[in-house]
Amino acid sequence: MDFRPGLEGVIAVQTNLSSIDGENGRLIFRGYRADELARKHVFEEVVHLLWYGGLPVKNELENLKKQLHEARKLPEDIVRIIDELPEDMEMMAVLRTCISALKAKPEWPPTLEEAVRITAVIPTILAYRYRSLHHLEFVPPNHQLDHVANYLYMLTGKKPKDAHVRVMNAYFVLTAEHGMNAATFTSRVIASTESDLFSAVTGAIGAMKGPLHGGAPTGVISMLNKIETVEDTEDWLRKKLNNKEKLMGFGHRVYKTNDPRAEALRDVTESLSADDDWFLLARHVEDTAIRLLEEYKSGRRLYTNVEFYAAAVFKAVDLPEILYTPTFTASRAAGWCAHVLEQAENNRIFRPLSEYVGPGSMIKENTQRG
């Protein structure tokens, strides 16, 4: 058997949830293109697609929204836990602690009701903790608002602009699911032991917390801040490339052409570009960087990734930097729940092999003889 570091290229799961075509730049959720879903549908519709297998009709959508509304409230014991946590504790660690505390009695198999509870309460946890850290009064959930709009409302206490809801909704849709990434794989491994959904999501949050996975688009914002103006763009980028430094927000391990998530976010933010200097700068940097990357690294096929436009979206809606990765987590939790529910349908515990290369191993002996 071949050893493949990081399980690179190994198929460990068969799934109905999503397909990533890196060569052609396509991301599919249950037969639907994710970029088209982001342009035409709200987050709750995509959650229904992932959990139930199809887009909802009106009554189904209203029912799911109602369930999410009812599950938003923060339990008193979770409030007490958050209040007792050190102020310097990372937001992802706070979220991990709270999700693990939501369930006292493990259950198998996982249920849709549990998926609703987790997905609904994460934004409330984040908003409560953020406002608490800044000595602001907690803003309770507004049941008149949909999932994404309510999240922005709880952070600020003000009804968000429609344009901001639209771009954040697109972000939530596009990042809700993305194949067998590290956090999703973690959730399925935990679920395969017949542990409960809350444990699986807690483990996924731990994986997302790592900078190689859930690293927020902070680097993109830092780059745009340093460039400052359209006029300075090309000189700044050329200096980075001449020094063989990486341009943040370009290139992806999977996508060898345009990241469809970045394209969709670019389209959705089009309406903001005319009135927002930040978006105008971002679009100019993108165009210039792609042209220069082809000049400096011809044939490498380096294009804008989702982090680039996520940075633009977060900056436009004034999302605090401390909430970048947690917000990514708030959207991806729906996908984790879908994977755990799917794992439970035909479960088999994950038990890969390891190859011993320590003292006395055949590999070591053969190397020494050679």
Q: Is 178 a catalytic residue?
A: no
d(CA 308, CA 262) in angstroms, rounded, equals 7
- Residue 73, phi then psi, degrees to nearest 5: -60, 135
- Residue 40, phi then psi, degrees to nearest 5: -120, -10
The catalytic position among 252, 286, 339, 342 is: 252
Please report the beta strands in the chain, taking only residues with DSSP state E, as ranges in sequence order: 18-21, 26-29, 32-33
The catalytic position among 114, 286, 307, 342 is: 307
Q: Is 137 helix (H, G, I), strand (E, B) or coil?
A: coil
259 sits in the region (left: phi over 0; alpha: psi -120 to 50; else beta) called beta
Contact present, 205 and 95 (Cβ < 8 Å): yes
- Residue 33, phi then psi, degrees to nearest 5: -70, 125
Q: Is 252 a catalytic residue?
A: yes
The two structure tokens encoding residue 151: 């999240």
The two structure tokens encoding residue 295: 């000049």
Residues in the chain: 370
Q: At what angle do helices 112-133 and 58-70 cross, to 10 degrees?
A: 50
Q: Which of 99, 55, 61, 106 is nearest to 81 (CA)?
A: 99
Q: Return the residue matching tokens 């399980």.
A: 7
d(CA 131, CA 52) in angstroms, rounded, equals 34
The two structure tokens encoding residue 180: 């067998």
Q: How many CA atoms lie within 13 A of 368 on its CB side?
A: 9
Q: Which of 300, 268, 296 is nearest to 283 (CA)?
A: 268
Q: Which of 140, 143, 125, 128 is nearest to 69 (CA)?
A: 143
d(CA 48, CA 71) in angstroms, rounded, equals 16
The two structure tokens encoding residue 257: 């052409």
> CB 36: neighbour CB atoms within 10 A?
13
List active site positions. Answer: 252, 307
